[in-house]
Amino acid sequence: MSSKRETPLRVAVLASGRGSNLQAIIDAIEAGQAKAKIVAVISNKKDAAALERARKHGLPDLFVDPKPFAGRPDGREAYDRALLEVLEKNDVDLVLLAGYMKIVTAVLVNAYANRMMNIHPSLLPAFPGLDVQKKAIEWGCKLSGCTVHFVTEGVDEGPIIIQAAVPILDNDTPETLAARILVQEHKIYPCAVQLFAEGRLRVEGRHVFIDGA
């Protein structure tokens, strides 16, 4: 677990797409609301808007091409070993998955146990996986939301750090619900980063306790 520290927390963000959660974290850091430094923004997609956002803010961005690893029996692990090399070279303390649409393997999970977070647009453990806003509406849920959790090998299964709930309205579409959830994502992800930076997250089994909450 992280402990009280003098130097800013060194963060890497892994993102595959639009990067609005990355942006929320950049904004929180620039506003002094999260005491952290983004030392790498990494993507498995060359054209990810997240990489462009990083460049705009003068942050190191890196595309790690998955193609050379595809088709190998250990391709997913080998890809993660390449990522791990970058993370270790940059002395990364905390890894943030922010719309990173690739399943991470034990290679990264073990190296960053309780030091890698993910954000997911549902109230886990309901609706892990993809198309979750559509699934929540179709199920007839009255509430949905988002979850920041530590990453374990099971997809969307790790210990929950923070959740925020939003109502599901009768006329919601997956898009309108996703937009309402996203507003909350942009609040809780930077908040989780700051709690980690302050050394206030304590993991006991499946439970994450927030010291001083």
Closer Cβ to ligand GAR, 164 or 199, answer by number: 164
Would you call 149 a catalytic residue per the annotation? no
Q: What is the total count of residues that contact ligand GAR (CB under 6 A)? A: 13
According to the binding rule CB under 6 A, does residue 45 interact with ligand GAR? no
Interaction mask 119-138, ligand GAR, x per CB under 6 A: xxx-----------------
Q: Which span (11-19, 59-67, 166-174, 192-200) binds ligand GAR, by CB under 6 A?
A: 11-19
Distance in Å, CB of 129 to ligand GAR, minimum: 7
Which residue among 11, 12, 13, 21 contacts ligand GAR (CB under 6 A)? Answer: 21
Could you write out the DSSP letters of every residue in the chain?
-----SSPEEEEEE-SS--HHHHHHHHHHHTTSS-EEEEEEEESSTT-HHHHHHHHTT--EEE--SGGGTTSTTHHHHHHHHHHHHHHHTT-SEEEESS--S---HHHHHHTTTSEEEEESS-TTSS-SSSHHHHHHHHT-SEEEEEEEE--SSTT-SPEEEEEEEEPPTT--HHHHHHHHHHHHHHHHHHHHHHHHTT-EEEETTEEEETT-
**CA gap 124, 44 in Å, rounded:** 25
Query: What's the CA dihedral at 63, 69, 71, 77 to 10 degrees?
Result: -110
Q: Which of 9, 11, 14, 19 binds ligand GAR (CB under 6 A)?
A: 19
Q: Does 20 bind ligand GAR (CB under 6 A)?
A: yes
Asked if 182 interacts with ligand GAR (CB under 6 A), we say yes
Q: Which span sits near ligand GAR by CB under 6 A: 1-9, 15-23, 39-47, 56-64? A: 15-23
Task: Single out the catalytic residue among 57, 120, 149, 186.
Answer: 120
Residues 86-125 that bind ligand GAR (CB under 6 A): 98-99, 119-121
Check residue 198 for interaction with ligand GAR (CB under 6 A): no
Should residue 145 be labelled a site residue for ligand GAR when binding is judged by CB under 6 A? no
Q: What's the CA gap between 25 and 171, in Å, rounded?
A: 31
Give the interface with ligand GAR as residue ranges (CB under 6 A): 15, 17-21, 98-99, 119-121, 182, 185
